[in-house]
């Protein structure tokens, strides 16, 4: 075998060795990514997008609302979801799951619609969106806390769920206040419609008492 042939054989062996090493590395990365199943990965991605949207909407309420209770809820949403987002980001990195860096297109549309409102109209619309969004989040986290295969994902869903329930309860309570006021106004309007003149109910005039007679009473015979 000539020197040239020996070099060719060695070169081929080297290329084969490098190819095998690359394949081994590739297989290793696939195994690492597959440690979290598709359902858990999808949950993390959806939770991340929703969390980003809640922080954005909370910050909007802090800027636009003048209602103290709405601002208190908004601050809690910003703080709690920011914390949960950071925890989820660290969890996803450890599982090699890529998370979205922005809310979904539907959430962005919701944000745009709210941005166009002001005053009480904004507060009512924002609260209704918070109720709707947190109802969906509670449902998703409840389901994941029951079916998650990855123990770390399961723990994240389970520990975050009570906070989401608290947000939902507060938003539902605040959203019901304007509705209760509107119902009371409707009832008042109906009552006034039954009394077109808006007059106070009349009371019957007192019956006149006949004047006492000045004539002497008849004598009583014994």
**Domain residue limits, the chain:** 37-182
**Average pLDDT value for residue range 39-57:** 97
Indicate yes or no: pTM above 0.85: no
Do the Cβ atoms of 118 and 61 come closer than 8 Å? no
Please tell me the CATH code under which domain 37-182 is placed: 1.20.1260.10
Burial class (CB in 10 A: 0-12, 13-18, 19+), 61: buried
Sign of CA dihedral 74, 75, 76, 82: positive
Please tell me the distance from the alpha carbon of residue 203 to that of residue 145, in angstroms, as a whole number: 66
Please tell me the distance from the alpha carbon of residue 61 to that of residue 57, in angstroms, as a whole number: 6
pLDDT value at residue 23: 39
Out of 12-16, 64-68, 177-181, 187-191, pick the least confident: 12-16
Task: Categorize the per-residue pLDDT at 194 as very low, low, confident or very high, splitting at 50, 70 and 90.
Answer: low
The Cβ of residue 70 has, within 10 Å, a number of other Cβ atoms equal to 23
How high is the mean pLDDT of the chain? 79
Burial class (CB in 10 A: 0-12, 13-18, 19+), 141: buried
Q: How far apart are the first and last CA of the chain?
A: 171
Do the Cβ atoms of 35 and 95 come closer than 8 Å? yes
pLDDT value at residue 174: 96
């Amino acid at each position: 075998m000539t020197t040239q042939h020996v070099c060719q054989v060695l070169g081929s062996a080297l290329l084969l060795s490098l190819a095998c090493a690359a394949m081994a590395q590739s297989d290793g990365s696939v195994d690492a990514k597959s440690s979290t199943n598709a359902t858990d990965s999808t949950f993390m991605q959806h939770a991340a997008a929703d969390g980003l949207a809640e922080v954005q909407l909370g910050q909007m309420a802090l800027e636009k609302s003048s209602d103290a209770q709405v601002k208190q809820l908004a601050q809690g949403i910003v703080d709690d979801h920011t914390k949960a987002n950071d925890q989820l980001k660290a969890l996803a990195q450890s599982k090699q799951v890529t998370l979205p860096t922005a809310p979904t297109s539907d959430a962005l549309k919701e944000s745009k619609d709210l941005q166009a409102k002001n005053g009480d109209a904004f507060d009512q619309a924002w609260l209704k969106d918070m109720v709707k969004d947190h109802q969906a989040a509670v449902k998703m986290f409840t389901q994941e806390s029951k079916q998650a295969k990855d123990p770390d994902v399961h723990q994240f869903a389970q520990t975050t769920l009570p906070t989401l329930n608290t947000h939902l309860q507060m938003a539902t309570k605040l959203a019901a206040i304007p509705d209760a006021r509107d119902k009371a106004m409707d009832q008042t309007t109906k009552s006034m419609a039954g009394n077109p003149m808006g007059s106070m109910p009349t009371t019957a005039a007192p019956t006149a008492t006949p004047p006492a007679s000045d004539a002497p009473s008849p004598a009583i015979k014994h």
